[in-house]
Copies of this chain bind each other. A is one copy, B any other.
Amino acid sequence: MPKGMRDFFPEEMIGRGKLFNAVKRVYEKYGFSPMEYSALEELKYLEKESSAEIKEMLFRIEDSDLALRFDLTVPLARTMAENPMIPKPFKRYCIAPVWRREEPQKGRFREFWQADIDIVGSTSMACEAELLACVSEALAELKIDCEIIVNNRKILDGLMEKSGISKKIEAIRIIDKKDKIGEKGAMDELTALIGEGKAKEILNTLTLTGTNEEKIAKSEKIFKGIKAGEEGINELKALLVLLEEYGVKITMDFSLARGLDYYTGTIFEVKMKGNDKSIAGGGRYDSLIGKFGGPEMPAVGISIGIERIPNVFPKNKTVSEVVVIPIAENNRKYALSIAKKLRANGINVELDVMGRNFKKQLEYANKMGIPFAVIVGDREEKECKVKLKNLSTSEEKELSLESCIASFIVPL
């Protein structure tokens, strides 16, 4: 097994499939349609707007200009640049693996799955509202209690403008890691970069407290006459009104920066309540597609990190709902005919392929956690009946095949 990668045995995979389906169903209810991309991308796209850190993490293919994708936004931007005439808004979801060649850590893999939704073609905050409503419904569906944190890059830009800071990207990087290095650490690093006065001014605004409305009122005063700041505040205000209508709650946090350099407006991060773990994130990237060679196209997206989601589904070893067991070898053919009919009714059926006797077949069914056994012997065969056994309660019933089938469609 390659380092930092995983196989998913049925015990994991059955629950993962249910998780994927739950997310898909919600994404589709919001009108997002599925799209998939080649796993490999050309380096010219992968390296275009990426940090040096990401470039170090590429799984590069020998003797080629290709590497495995590290996210699902680069392929989206490439396909949009390649197909500029596609009708807008273009709303797609993609649930697929991405690869990063970094040191594996607990809960952090070199191959991991993302579940992205993006809207291309509109600058309206209605996009952000749909994305956040959709993701919070998906996470609620998975019984995850979370907090949505929202900021806008233009507010950070406004701050830099107001304080006359030229080392913008460096300053944003420091703000970005504030949670890791602490407020004191951030203050020290910012002071070293831009001097104590400006560092204080910035950190004061970033750490404004109060309700969203109070933060907005305070920051409106701060950004009076600063174009980027005013725009950022107005976008956040518009988003708050829409989210109120959707019934989605957010926390505004001016210190949220998020690493990626290509964000141009709203940025969001979703954290699990209780452990503060980041479970989803995204933002607006209105200039990325243009930089990939397409016409300028506004776009905004959010990505759920699938591996961050605690599994809420039971761990089954098999999809089989029932095993059909002949009591003796001469009942094998009748058992097969029963299995065929159950399968024709959409029921997942296990049939022995090991040449095992009755007892061993039951043992196997119990070991695999198959919930029911349909048992057929001479008497059942003669009377065209079956014996249905609940393997967890040992309860048995003699039934016609029709009643047996019905009992699976409306389970016992």
Contacts and interface: CB of A to CB of B under 8 A. Distances in A.
A336 B25 CA distance: 19
A373 to B, nearest CB: 13
Given A99-B39, A348-B29, A60 B61 contact: yes
A89 interface: yes
B33 A13 contact: yes
Interface of A: 1-2, 5-10, 13-14, 17, 25, 28-42, 59-62, 64, 66, 68, 75, 78-79, 82-83, 86-89, 91-92, 97, 99, 111, 119, 121-122, 124, 126-127, 130, 137, 245-247, 316-320, 333, 336, 340, 343, 346-355, 364, 367-368
B59 A60 contact: no
A34 B354 contact: no
A25 B346 contact: yes
Contacts of A79: 7, 9
Contacts of A127: 353
Given A1-B82, A10-B92, A59-B61, A317 B351 contact: no
Contacts of A33: 10, 13-14, 316-320
A87 B7 contact: no
B39 A97 contact: yes
Contacts of A60: 61-62
B2 A41 contact: yes
Nearest to A97: B39
A66 B355 contact: no
Contact of A340 (B37, B83, B246, B367): B246
Q: Which 5 A-B pairs have the closest CB atoms?
A: A10-B33, A5-B38, A31-B350, A126-B353, A31-B320
Nearest to A364: B87
Given A41-B2, A92-B10, A245-B333, A352 B126 contact: yes
A111 B13 contact: no
Given A87-B367, A333-B245, A5 B92 contact: no
A36 B62 contact: no
